[in-house]
Amino acid sequence: MNALVLLLAGGIGSRLNSLVGHRAKPAVPFGGIYRIIDFSLSNVMNSGLKKVGVLTQYKPLSLMAHIGSGEAWDFTGRTRGVKILPPRTGEKDSDWYKGTADAIRQNIDFIKSNPSDQVVLLSGDHIYMMDFDAMLSYHQHKEADVTIGMMVVPKSQIHQFGAGIVDAENRIIDWEEKPKEPKTNLASMGIYIFDTKYLLKTLERDRKEVDFGMHIIPRAIEKDRVFAYPFYGYWRDVGTIQSYWETNMEIIRENSEISPEEWGIQPNPAYGDRPMDRAPSRFVNGCSVTSSLISAGCVIEGTVENSVLSPGVKVEKGAVVTNSIIFDDGVIGKDAKVDLAICDKRVRIGDGAVIGNSDNMTVVNKKFPTHLYTGITLVGKEAHIPAGAGIGRNCIVDFGFAEKDFNGSLQLGDGESV
């Protein structure tokens, strides 16, 4: 297929809280050795598509470094490639992308300089496996101007998505963007295919139309051929702390639907901490590991249950890690306990410290009640929790936190932030 891929990877992703304090949402680590964007890039690679533009904006440096030349996903060569497309910013914030359609509009020159029959628009922040080649064939068969990847979700979740009502031929006849009282349970996956000529004409028509879901798609449904492409596989939006934690936990669940290795999801082995160059994990006599994902370079002396550990994590003697996600090079000290927590890179939990030292899951985070409300505690990048400290449920410990920041007490109550 002669299709050009544009991957939207510039969103703030603020609901992920401290996980996006120092990186773009698509660059957040996932499942031990991956970044979230690895799923979209690998799907493109596995579908045989060759030209990709990645639209960045918010804190893009680690994302840009991770993508690099695109070699990890075979996007190098005379006829293939990946190009980073930052916003054409001036001196004002208002010069940044105003919406998804505005982001594509600002890169019309990239579309024109890479001739194609279709443009595939993707988000860089979903966990899924999909064959875009099959979707392109469907788009051509329907003689569609626009095709939207859609799947059935519970009606209780539809308010998070664009929602489409279709006829017997899967043509979309009505559209609701994030409806409070939905008429349908068919949700947009944020995956679009446009005929290139149609897309260019649409973007050049009205510069006030800055968003696909809010402006472009409803107008197209009224006048043009817009079809739903039904998707029945695994797809998750990991835009909240709760969904991010749940999706990581699904990897280690027996008979799980998610299997990055079987899907052919490719990380970048040459980036950052180079997970592929780590020594094998070491399991010391007396340790206990159950229902967990342990990445290369980990050293386990204590107990790990129902958790996901990225490369280089050390769990010292007597330490217990349960229901948690620990990023690269974290250290869980002797006799420490970590339960229901997400610890960012290079976190150190001191000897005997306890993360999740309360049975009360109902006290939501006071600063971010819609982010942390199920008992999960966030420990920011390079934070050091001193020996003997106690951290409650639904807490936030900020980037670089150290003992001096405790203001005398080594206890942090449920729902507090420091």
Predicted confidence band at 276 (pLDDT cuts at 50, 70, 90)?
low
Are 196 and 317 part of one and the same domain? no
Is the pLDDT reported for residue 366 higher than 70? yes
Per-residue confidence (pLDDT) for residue 160, from 0 to 100: 82
Single-letter amino acid, residue 179 = P
Are 71 and 210 part of one and the same domain? yes
Per-residue confidence (pLDDT) for residue 270, from 0 to 100: 77
Per-residue confidence (pLDDT) for residue 275, from 0 to 100: 59
Task: Give a yes or no: residue 354 inside a domain.
Answer: yes
Are 207 and 86 part of one and the same domain? yes
Are 38 and 91 part of one and the same domain? yes
- Cα–Cα dist 357/168, whole Å: 54
Residue with tokens 């998505």: 161
3-state secondary structure of 127: strand
Task: Give a yes or no: residue 266 inside a domain.
Answer: no
Predicted confidence band at 89 (pLDDT cuts at 50, 70, 90)?
low
Task: Give a yes or no: residue 309 inside a domain.
Answer: yes
Structural domain of residue 207, as residue ranges?
3-251
Count the Cβ atoms, other than its own, within 10 Å of residue 143. Answer: 9
Are 303 and 212 part of one and the same domain? no
Do residues 62 and 88 make contact, with C-beta atoms less than 8 angstroms apart? Answer: no
Percent of the chain with pLDDT over 70: 96
Per-residue confidence (pLDDT) for residue 272, from 0 to 100: 60
Degrees to nearest 5, angle at CA 287 with 283 and 293: 60
Residue with tokens 């329907």: 142
Is the pLDDT reported for residue 87 higher than 80? no
Are 12 and 89 part of one and the same domain? yes
Per-residue confidence (pLDDT) for residue 135, from 0 to 100: 97
Q: Which CATH number fits the domain that encloses residue 105?
A: 3.90.550.10
Are 243 and 278 part of one and the same domain? no
Write down how long the chain is. Answer: 418
Per-residue confidence (pLDDT) for residue 161, from 0 to 100: 85
Is the pLDDT reported for residue 180 higher than 90? no
Q: What are 331-362's pLDDT values in tens digits?
A: 999 999 999 999 999 999 999 999 999 998 99
Q: What are 250-262's pLDDT values in tens digits?
A: 999 988 899 999 9
Are 236 and 292 part of one and the same domain? no
Determine which helix (DSSP H) or strand (DSSP E) holds 39, and give its type and residue range.
helix 37-46
Question: How far apart, in Å, are the Cα atoms of 222 and each of 148, 190, 200, 226?
Answer: 15, 20, 18, 9
Are 206 and 305 part of one and the same domain? no
Instruction: Write the CB contacts of 127 (distance below 8 Å, at least 6 apart in sequence).
Output: 30, 36, 39, 234, 235, 236, 238, 247, 258
Per-residue confidence (pLDDT) for residue 390, from 0 to 100: 95
- Cα–Cα dist 122/26, whole Å: 12
Are 243 and 351 part of one and the same domain? no
**Strand ranges for 253-372 from DSSP E:** 282-283, 288-290, 293-294, 299-300, 303-305, 308-309, 314-315, 320-322, 325-326, 331-332, 337-339, 341-343, 348-349, 354-355
Domain end among 251, 282, 315: 251
Are 218 and 306 part of one and the same domain? no
User: In whole numbers, what is the pLDDT of the chain averaged over residues?
Assistant: 91
Lowest-confidence segment of 6-20, 235-249, 360-374 by average pLDDT: 6-20
Q: Tell me the average pLDDT across 185-204.
A: 93
Is the pLDDT reported for residue 368 higher than 70? yes
Is the pLDDT reported for residue 97 higher than 80? no
Counting Cβ atoms within 10 Å, is residue 77 exposed (0-12), middle (13-18) or buried (19+)?
Answer: exposed
Task: Give a yes or no: residue 258 inside a domain.
Answer: no
Q: What are 137-179's pLDDT values in tens digits?
A: 999 999 999 999 999 988 888 888 888 999 999 999 999 888 8
Q: Tell me the average pLDDT across 89-97.
A: 57
3-state secondary structure of 55: strand
Q: Tell me the average pLDDT across 226-231.
A: 96
Per-residue confidence (pLDDT) for residue 125, from 0 to 100: 86
Instruction: Write the CB contacts of 25 (distance below 8 Å, at least 6 apart in sequence).
Output: 9, 11, 12, 13, 16, 36, 58, 124, 125, 239
Predicted confidence band at 407 (pLDDT cuts at 50, 70, 90)?
confident
Predicted confidence band at 240 (pLDDT cuts at 50, 70, 90)?
very high
- Cα–Cα dist 87/107, whole Å: 9
For residue 168, give both structure tokens. Answer: 């017997």
Domain count, the chain: 2
- Cα–Cα dist 307/305, whole Å: 6
Task: Give a yes or no: residue 418 inside a domain.
Answer: no
Q: What are 383-397's pLDDT values in tens digits?
A: 999 999 999 999 999
Task: Give a yes or no: residue 264 inside a domain.
Answer: no
Task: Give a yes or no: residue 71 inside a domain.
Answer: yes
Predicted confidence band at 212 (pLDDT cuts at 50, 70, 90)?
confident
Q: Tell me the average pLDDT across 262-289.
A: 85
Q: What single-letter DSSP state applies at residue 187?
A: E
Is the pLDDT reported for residue 300 higher than 80? yes
3-state secondary structure of 13: coil
Q: Which CATH number fits the domain that encloses residue 287?
A: 2.160.10.10
Per-residue confidence (pLDDT) for residue 211, from 0 to 100: 82
Task: Give a yes or no: residue 338 inside a domain.
Answer: yes
Lowest-confidence segment of 204-213, 238-247, 282-291 by average pLDDT: 204-213
Per-residue confidence (pLDDT) for residue 78, from 0 to 100: 81
The model carries a pTM of 0.93
Residue with tokens 């410290």: 353
For residue 123, give both structure tokens. Answer: 């988000």
Among the listed residues 88, 35, 19, 14, the one whose alpha carbon sits nearest the alpha carbon of residue 57: 88
Are 157 and 197 part of one and the same domain? yes
Per-residue confidence (pLDDT) for residue 274, from 0 to 100: 61
